Amino acid sequence: MGYLGTGTLTGTEPARAGGGAERPRLGWLRRLAASDDARRLGACVAGFLLLAVMTGPEGSSLAPTSGFSGSLLHPRVFAFIGLGVGLWALITAKRRYGDRARRLSEAISAAPRRLLPNRLARYGIYLVALAFAIVYPMALSQFWQNVLVDQIGVYVLLALGLNVVVGYAGLLDLGYIAFYAIGAYSAAYWTGALPVHPPITLNPFWAIPLAIFAAMLAGVILGAPTLRLRGDYLAIVTLGFGEIIQIVATNLQSVTGGSSGPASVIPHFSVNLLGVHYKWGLGDLPYYYLLLGFVVVILVTFHALEGSRVGRAWTAIREDEVAAESTGINVLKYKVMAFSIGASTSGFAGMLWASQVGYIDSTLFTVQLSILVLVLVIFGGMGSLPGAVVGAAVLQWFPWFLRVHPLFGFQPEDLFIYLGALLVVMMIFRPEGLLPSRRRKREISLAEHGEGTADAMTEPEGAEP
């Protein structure tokens, strides 16, 4: 029924598609299918039925329909149909009485902005958030402190790094976790945990610059050639690269320990400098504060970067690559820069995580993790620092919350069903994310009206078409 909704049909086409003679009996069906309201209702109900299947029981290869029938031929399906109809009613009401609703929603969304008239108030909010982040974890249980470090802190760091690549430079990196692996393996190497030994064994704290350097180097080596090409080629090359790193880590057993990991433990951090002695141990809180400190430093750095010459160059490239190039911006250089900044942040996160957990093996660095970090960035808002932090924290916390409370019957292995659906839904309805960067939001809407590109996917100058 594609032709029903578009303006590109010609006189001959509907007749041909209808198979010549129209059957008048189904005339009402056609009219129904042509009505926007009915189609919207169908889409809403279909969406919620899909949700019913997603949340329903599992099937198996012997009974492939049991999952579907258990979720659709069950009284619970009426709840989902009801929700679908409800959503449709909301949408319809919004379309009918949209003006009033829009004014109301604008008033609501403008309220915080009015409360934050100046920079000072905004910094106040940031300070309160920081104080909260410092004090609150002390009140948490051991379990949540652990989640806070392993699942939230590390991923906030990862999301901040990928935000530079996807948000600032408009590139798609699907092998982001490969750099995380490189960071983790560098940490293991320099601390002497791998089967191959380094020239000098270092404390993980001193291995940080080396791990960052290794990840950055890998980023430059991979990025410099592929960033010359179309942006979507970068996506697929990084996807392959992520796989390759994992295969290499598995196969080179004598170097990396393979899929069972190295035998020795990666030591914890310790500082022994200028009279300060401190050793991070098994406890989660010290690592949490270490992470928090690094996150704050990175936030400040990236914020400065965003407004600097480099950040403006990225913006220019995103908005219009050809125009950027013709004003003298070296597009390739800035793309490689963004890519390697992302890579080194990822390597840094991997390094931190490896020394906290003390153990790594090649099965941990899956392509799923790369996609997970991508979802965190997209959800929070591409190109928005608060978005990356809040998006990562909320989205990483929520599955754990569901997992702990058995009421919801959440299966951890279903996580990527929801995350995949979330990506599609975000791209359709809110591509700018939860807490969008104002500039990025404007770019996306401008691009949709034919001005600029809002990404760095166009072909660079000089490449053969």
Closest distance to other proteins from the beta carbon of 141 (Å):
30
User: Applying CB under 8 A, which part among 99-107, 235-243, 280-288, 399-407 lies near other proteins?
Assistant: 235-243
Show the site string, 68-107: x = touches other proteins by CB under 8 A, - = not.
x---------------------------------------
CA 244, distance to chain mean position in Å, is 21
Q: Does 358 bind other proteins (CB under 8 A)?
A: no
* Element (DSSP H or E) covering residue 290: helix 284-307
Site residues for other proteins, 435-454, by CB under 8 A, read: 444, 447-450, 453-454
Site residues for other proteins, 111-150, by CB under 8 A, read: none
Q: Token digits for 170?
A: 């408009």
User: Applying CB under 8 A, which part among 140-148, 263-271, 279-287, 416-424 lies near other proteins?
Assistant: 416-424
First to last CA, the chain: 34
Considering the complex, state which of residue 161 and residue 242 has its C-beta at the smaller distance from other proteins. 242
At 168, the amino acid letter reads Y
Q: Does 414 bind other proteins (CB under 8 A)?
A: yes
Q: DSSP states of 301-349 as a string? A: HHHHHHHSHHHHHHHHHHH-HHHHHHTT--HHHHHHHHHHHHHHHHHHH
Q: Does 19 bind other proteins (CB under 8 A)?
A: no
* 1/207 Cα distance (integer angstroms): 60
Q: Does 402 bind other proteins (CB under 8 A)?
A: no
Site residues for other proteins, 196-225, by CB under 8 A, read: 225
Residue closest to 380 by CA, chosen among 430, 417, 308: 430
Considering the complex, state which of residue 200 and residue 424 has its C-beta at the smaller distance from other proteins. 424
Q: Token digits for 32?
A: 């129904």
Q: Judged by CB under 8 A, which of 244, 273, 300, 304 binds other proteins?
A: 244
With contact defined as beta carbons under 8 Å apart, do 56 and 49 qualify? no
Show the site string, 40-69: x = touches other proteins by CB under 8 A, - = not.
-------------xx---xxxxx-x--xx-
Q: Does 260 bind other proteins (CB under 8 A)?
A: no
SS3 sequence of 402-456: HHHCHHHCCCHHHHHHHHHHHHHHHHHHCCCCCCCCHHHHHHHHHHHCCCCCCCC
Q: Judged by CB under 8 A, which of 79, 110, 128, 229 binds other proteins?
A: 229
